[in-house]
Amino acid sequence: MTLHINTPLIESRQLSAIAQRAIWLKIDALQPCGSFKLRGVGHACETYHARGAKRFISSSGGNAGLAVAYAGRRLGLPVTVVVPETTTERAKQLLALEGATVIVHGSSWQEANQLALTLASPDDAFIHPFDDPLLWTGHATLIDEVAQAGHKPDAVVLSVGGGGLLCGVVEGLHRNGWQDVPVIAVETEGAASFRAATEAGRPVEIERISSVATSLGAKRICDQAFQYRATHRIESVVVTDRQALDACEQFLLDHRVLVEPACGAALSLAYEPHALDRYANVLVVVCGGATATLAQIRQWAAAI
């Protein structure tokens, strides 16, 4: 038994009509804790639990922290999550609802992460939000499920922040013999660390995160995400916050599922009539996000 669930794979009539091609959705927003993160985090937590871990420690004010808190509750282990000061009250409430101890520290994820690393004792397991091979192996199950459904896409569209989902999807494509399926990695302006790495020819740290899509807010992608460019076709696309926010609102209307701007970034390509013209059959990963509210999305949109 796994902690994550097998999520729906559906063809979107609304998005297919706009994009004028078949748009399929893997709706991981329906995972128990609201995002794809549970796939990798669940796998990592189960692995560390089997190795004797007595507590989980994480550093995330968003979906990764929620996934660790959920996994800890299900596995019966205490969880401590260190979050930065920018974390929303809703996120802290959701973490507390899962029974996690929440520590607020620092103005960025990097500062919260530094403290979290100091808290781990030999009996604890530190669960990184995106840079751990166990996470990638868990995230790869998303592609396993698509393959089991007998649906091979011409391209996979996903959002990229630190690169955990990207690494998992590429791993899943390779282990299912789909090395020829390109990945379109989407970021927002102000959180484009993958684009910065592609332009620099190496992973680099961007100066700051200025996008509302804070779940994409890793200043530097993990090394493996960059290295996959050598063995897999990965296209970098950068969209605006406005495009991501508009996609969140439209997707709620079309499919009755609320996602956060980080997920809206990937969805926005399907709402642009010619963005995916080279592919007839496209899979979009609806990665989800539990911390955004409709009121907050509209507030962000009004401020642009």
Q: For residue range 245-298, what is the model confidence (pLDDT) as tens digits?
A: 999 999 999 999 999 999 999 999 999 989 999 999 999 999 999 988 999 999
pLDDT given at position 1? 77
In the structure, how many helices (H) and strands (E) does the chain have?
13, 10
CA 254-290-14 angle, to 5 degrees, is 10
- Hey, what are 254's tokens? 């079309």
- Whether 9 shows a pLDDT value over 90: the answer reads yes
Looking at residue 230, its pLDDT comes to 95
Identify the pLDDT of residue 87: 86
Instruction: Work out whether the CA dihedral 81, 226, 27, 238 comes out positive or negative.
Output: positive
Q: Do domains 9-36+134-303 and 37-129 have the same CATH topology?
A: yes
pTM score above 0.85? yes
Q: What order do you get walking across the sheet with 124-127 strand by strand?
A: 101-104, 79-83, 55-59, 124-127
Kindly report the length of the chain: 304
Assess contact for 172 and 141: CB atoms under 8 A.
Answer: yes
- Write down the pLDDT at residue 273: 83
Task: Give, rounded to a whole angstrom, the gap between the first and last alpha carbons of the chain.
Answer: 45
Cα 12 from Cα 20, distance rounded (Å): 11
Binning pLDDT at 50, 70 and 90, where does residue 205 land?
very high
Q: What is the pLDDT of residues 217-233, one digit of tens each?
A: 788 999 999 999 999 99
φ, ψ dihedrals at 24, nearest 5°: -105, 145
Asked whether residue 61 carries a pLDDT value surpassing 80, the answer given is: no
Per DSSP, the three-state class of 288 is strand
* Residue 158 contacts residue 169 (beta carbons within 8 Å): yes
Q: Is 186 a residue whose pLDDT tops 80?
A: yes
Q: Is the pLDDT of residue 23 over 80?
A: yes
Q: What does the radius of gyration of the chain's CA atoms come to, in whole angstroms? A: 18
| Separation of alpha carbons 199 and 48, rounded Å | 36
**Assigned CATH topology for domain 37-129:** Rossmann fold (3.40.50)
Both tokens assigned to 112: 């919260």
From the candidate CATH numbers 3.30.9.10, 3.40.50.300, 3.40.80.10, 3.40.50.1100, the one assigned to the domain spanning 9-36+134-303: 3.40.50.1100
Q: What is the pLDDT of residues 153-178, one digit of tens each?
A: 999 999 999 999 999 999 999 999 99
pLDDT at 107: 84
State how far the Cα of 247 lies from the Cα of 79, in Å rounded to an integer: 34
Q: Where are the domains of the chain?
A: 9-36+134-303, 37-129
